[in-house]
Amino acid sequence: MVGIQDEFLPLSVISGFPPVLAPEDALALIRRCREQQVRVLGIDGFHVFDQSQQPDMGESIDYSRLGDTVEDCWNAAEQFLSERMRSGLYFEVVTADQ
């Protein structure tokens, strides 16, 4: 079975799995999760240099324990990314279908 992450691999700024995406692509991935009813477990922010990456723990968030409704994770993830659209960071979205 092809997961949502696999659909976004061609948009990744570095090779490998899971994809590390520009903010607008990460937001599209979250919206695809909403369409497919797949929970977003977290988002990790990265600084990307050529083909290497450096995590930024201050720009990461965990939704794995967020509320009882799956709707909460999508709304929170969309808000998180919307606030970082011009940050220069790239993002890995952790999903329940990985």
Q: What is the DSSP string of the chain?
A: ---HHHHTGGG-SSSSSS--B-HHHHHHHHHHHHHHT--EEEEEEEEEETTEEEEEEEEEEE-TTS-S-HHHHHHHHHHHHHTTTTSS-EEEEEETT-
The pLDDT of residue 1 is above 60: no
The pLDDT of residue 66 is above 70: no
Domain contains 44: yes
Mean of the per-residue pLDDT values of the chain: 89
Average pLDDT over residues 56-61: 91
Domain contains 71: no
Average pLDDT over residues 45-61: 88
Domain contains 34: yes
Number of domains the chain is built from: 1
| Domain containing residue 29 | 19-53
Binned at pLDDT 50, 70 and 90, residue 69 comes out as low
Domain contains 40: yes
**Which residues on neighbouring strands pair with residue 52, listed in sequence order?**
49
Average pLDDT over residues 14-42: 94
pTM for this entry = 0.89
Domain contains 83: no
Angstrom distance (rounded) from CA 68 to CA 32? 20
Domain contains 25: yes
For 56, residues 6+ apart whose C-beta sits below 8 A from its C-beta are 45, 46, 47, 89
The pLDDT of residue 72 is above 90: no
Domain contains 30: yes
The pLDDT of residue 63 is 86
